[in-house]
Amino acid sequence: MMKIVGHTMGTPEATLLEAIDLFAELGLDGIEIICADDYPCGLNLETARSDLHSIRQRAADAGLIIAGLVPYTKDMNHPDARARERAIADLKRAVDIAVALDCRAMRVFGGHEVPPGEQGIALGWLSESLREVGEYAETASVQLNVENHMDTMATSAEMTIAIVRAVDLSNVGVLYDQANLAYMNSEVYEMAIALQGPRIQHVHVKDFYWEGTQRVAAVLGQGIIPWAQIVGALTDLGYEGFYSLEYERRWFPDQLPPPAVGMKQCLDFLRATQG
């Protein structure tokens, strides 16, 4: 049975503890938590250990797995070595937070997007930085997953898997996000899954449609992303990881219904893909 978790992207009006309670009420299996200083429904790198313990206990009491942590650090391929060192330190701190939460996976960005002529040296800096963080995370049994994401070096499935291969650690894999790939006009799902294959360790699930050139966020099944076929392809691949409802209410509050309604619709749709 697929494991479906809620992403705190979907609950910008709630506190983290309120989001935990909501996700449990909706019948989700777990929670994926944003780690950013500017987001109320999440954590920051200075969150006290006592607060982390309370969050971990609240999730456990609610029957939720803390399935992932989502930091926003991007300077791992910055030309300034000091900026890269700060980014590495921030990600190591995020790993420490993951351990305190008994969370075994963390999203990482593929650095900053760079012009084609600078990709070689930038990939070297990025892979070196992520390798250092990955080795640190490996000792704590934490998985790092590079997300298919705009404004990073991972703007295609091909480039994402190239980053993962350059890092060359067993605990550094892919966070597959077909909606991001579709928005960036990158690979269709068949090619994205074929390229990233068994290195896919986590999946973000969301939907959207186009109104002219405007991207409009949508409840699952009301957009252009063929989630039933994607779930089938991932099942055939043998994928057994989490499907995280990255309900984009943080960025598009006027385009999506409240999470108690919209995330429940997404959950029901995703479960129905299993037949």
What count of residues does the chain have? Answer: 275
Tens digits of residue pLDDT in 200-226: 999 999 999 999 999 999 999 999 999
- Sign for the CA dihedral angle at 46, 64, 237, 235 comes to negative
Over range 15-40, report the average pLDDT. Answer: 97
Tens digits of residue pLDDT in 136-172: 999 999 999 999 999 999 999 999 999 999 999 999 9
| 196 band by pLDDT with thresholds 50, 70 and 90 | very high
Say if CB 67 and CB 32 are below 8 A apart: yes
DSSP 8-state class, residue 213: T
pLDDT at 275 over 70: no
- What are the tokens at 41? 């429904």
Looking at residue 1, what is its pLDDT? 84
Contacts of 135 (CB under 8 A, 6+ apart): 169
Tens digits of residue pLDDT in 32-72: 999 999 999 999 999 999 999 999 999 999 999 999 999 99
Q: How far apart are CA 111 and CA 163, in angstroms?
A: 10
Over range 91-104, report the average pLDDT. Answer: 98
Tens digits of residue pLDDT in 98-128: 999 999 999 999 999 999 999 999 999 999 9
pLDDT at 199 over 70: yes
> Which of 171, 177, 252 has its CA nearest to residue 219?
252
Report the percent of the chain where pLDDT is more than 70. Answer: 100
| 77 band by pLDDT with thresholds 50, 70 and 90 | very high
Determine the residue type at 4: I
Q: How far apart are CA 124 and CA 119, in angstroms?
A: 8
**Phi–psi pair at 192, nearest 5 degrees:** -60, -45
Q: How far apart are CA 90 and CA 123, in angstroms?
A: 19
- DSSP string computed for 66-85: EEEEEE---GGG-SSHHHHH
> Which of 208, 192, 108 has its CA nearest to residue 158?
192
**Phi–psi pair at 270, nearest 5 degrees:** -65, -40
- What are the tokens at 191? 């090619």
User: Rounded to the nearest 10 degrees, what angle do helices 259-272 and 227-237 cross at?
Assistant: 50
Helix (H) or strand (E) segment spanning residue 240: none
Determine the residue type at 103: C
- DSSP string computed for 111-158: -----GGGHHHHHHHHHHHHHHHHHHHHTTT-EEEEE--TTSS-SSHH
| 274 band by pLDDT with thresholds 50, 70 and 90 | confident
Determine the residue type at 67: A
Looking at residue 66, what is its pLDDT? 98
> Which of 76, 18, 13, 8 has its CA nearest to residue 43?
8
Radius of gyration of the chain (CA): 18
